[in-house]
Structure 1
Amino acid sequence: MIKEEEELVRTKVKRQAMTDYLTPSVQNIKPSGIRRFFDLVNTRKDVITLGVGEPDFITPWHVREAAVYSLERGKTQYTSNAGLPALREAIGQYLNDQFQTPYDPASEILVTVGGSEAIDLALRALIVPGDEILIPEPCYISYSPITALGGGVPVGIETFAEEKFKLKAESLQAAITPRSKVLILCYPSNPTGGIMTYEDWLPIAKVVEDNDLIVISDEIYAELTYGTKHCSFSAMPGMRDRTILVSGFSKAFAMTGWRLGYACGHPDLIAAMLKIHQYTVMCAPAMAQYAGVEALTRGLEEKDRMVDAYNQRRRLVVKGFRDIGLECHEPEGAFYAFPSVKATGLTSEKFAERLLEEGGVAAVPGDVFGLGGEGHLRCSYATSVSNLAEALDRIGGFVHKLKQG
């Protein structure tokens, strides 16, 4: 009888396909909307791409040389799990000098494999299944999937072009429930280029404190602001211990492929993240860390030159879209424009697909970035002025053809 019952159980749970072995959280995640769209790009020739969120600059030579020199000296072993002491010290000094956010290198800074790992570590350390994670949208596409993988419930908060895509305290408060635990921020914003000032943060900080929230502040674009200096949320009164500041080297220092980031915060939170980090990736690549030290200590002039170039391109692109007849709020940070295509009568996805097919320009449909993204297009201006000028000409021709019917 026992053997028959065991056989019955085995029969009931027998899986019919390999996907049956996967966890529901993985099965339920949709593939990246950006990746799906750019699979189409690979089928076309003579396409100008405005979709890649990556600097077109090469990592400065002396930063590359620092990595090569580390290899020549045989620095190929594991580093401390938390990262090279010299790099953590450089990060602490840099953040204090640039953004007035001091952190103790010994206990409050963790070096990670890109800023993306830092966000994942923070969420995994904080989420209890069922916790609600508040996410202003449109936003970087990874926040919601990472939240779901950790057992959390992503809750989008819509922001609007007429308000420069700023998070408003009343919208945040309206989204809060007894299960709300974490607020994820990304300013300067990917994909909108929106920023938040000290005055903008004050009411947000009050809501955070009143509702006992923890904040993950993704500040990967902090250096890329135009006219208004970046204000870190962790620098707000009373927010330092409630905030995990996440950043890295990818955008400002043109080091996307190096996969080097960091997280800063209260020692208890960083210690928890470190435990996950040491059992998963061990440490960030040693040669990338040596390059990071060089970038922070002797690479600021190159960083500033790149920012100046982005600013020139930003002005060109915003004026270009407006001349074409597409509304475009002025991005004050990052390197993206987020023009509205609503006047054409097409959805974001249909506009992007037809622009690629008929105009030879690739951009990302805004709907993949969540609430408030529909009706917009994300266009990266981290490419050459000549490419941008040609892309604007093609977009203008495409829009004119749409208006002609």
Structure 2
Amino acid sequence: MNTDSLISQVKDSASKLGIKKFDVFGATVESSSAQVNQGVPKQVKASHRSSIMVRVWNGDRSLGVTSTNDTTPKGLELALQTASEASNFGAKEHIPDFSPLATSPIQEMGDRTAEAAPMDTLLETLLEAEQKLLNSHPAIVGVPYNGLSQRDLVRFYVNSEGALRQEHLSYASIYLYSKTEEDGKKPRSAGAYRLGRSLEQLDIEGCLQETTAKTISHLNYEKMTSGRYLVMFSPEAFLSMLAAFSNIFNAQSVLDRQSLSTVESIGTAIASPMLSVSDYELHHKNIAATTFDSEGTPTGEVPLIKEGVLTNFLHSSITARRLNAQPTGNGNMGAKVSVSPNFFCVAPGSAENGGSYNIDTADNVIWIDELHALHSGVQSLQGSFSLPFDGWMIKGGDRISIESATVAGDIKQLLKSIVCVESEVKLTDGGVSPRVWVEGLSITGEG
């Protein structure tokens, strides 16, 4: 997409149609990916997708919205015309407007592009990774879920009051998930994920080592006794839990009464003082960071929980206006502007971590590595969860894989029962987090 040409076409078409107030958000994505199975290619894909969202306000301030993937001058003109006609039937209450920060400076990120590798290189690299994984242990018989992909993304935002944003970035990712088979034993699985600027900068070896180590650690499993335990969440598992209950921080959910929080919740303690959480899209570990949302608002760091206290909600321009706040760069333009988190960052709060919370010497501790069935096991409006998980029982510092178990509880109680937030963070596809220890969670096993 030639964004300069496209933006010029949008302005020319708006002038031709007599449209005085409009904004446009657009993106184009070029991606290629590969999957393999038992030494042969399973699937290769390449795509080029463009999408543009157009909003037009009429003289009565009513709003019309349309979308298109036709980036020709005629297609853009038709989208503007359709949005203009739709504005005559727009809502009369809580009408979106331009973000007040749409012309504020955004952070300079430097060159974040990389040349895409040829498809045959993707396949060769993934086939080699699969073979190494299969050769790492006799019990590993397959890598049923795997993928190596690269993406090139161009985004822009423009409005009739002079706002203009553009950015271009590239990144690559790999995912490996292995499976075992042994006589008289249940199949066991484990996986790992890595993200990098390009294929050359992707930590494939680290992904292989983590997948292998996790898979082998699950081979000798045991049943466990149900009860209440001290639980240590892996970074992936804790971030999955935060994402499942992100309505706590979502201003649109609060206004729609679809949140565990209310407007009055700001300033109240909702977690242990050991926990701090922010939404930080521009964190230095976030390879795929975007510098503005689809309303043109700059992204950045939004403190959500500071030493256990709820300090902010995530806002679009419309929720910010209704709650007398500032947009936070979490708006998603559409027929209705929605709000979503960008990149969670979990960190220790004020309290010191105790020396007793050391995984190398822990005893009778449950290590939850990966949560499952989040789509069905979470009641986000009630705050309750009941989720099967993969993990280990820690006895005298030794890891013993758990055959099958479920963790259940209430998210509010979980947050307040945190007794340790470690300092070393790990990058995942949902953010960065250290391991988090929680006291007294209910675990149901088969023992």
Please tell me the TM-score bracket, short chain as reference: under 0.3
Higher strand share goes to which structure? 2
Larger radius of gyration between Structure 1 and Structure 2? 2
- The normalised TM-score by structure 1 is 0.25
- The normalised TM-score by structure 2 is 0.23
Higher helix share goes to which structure? 1
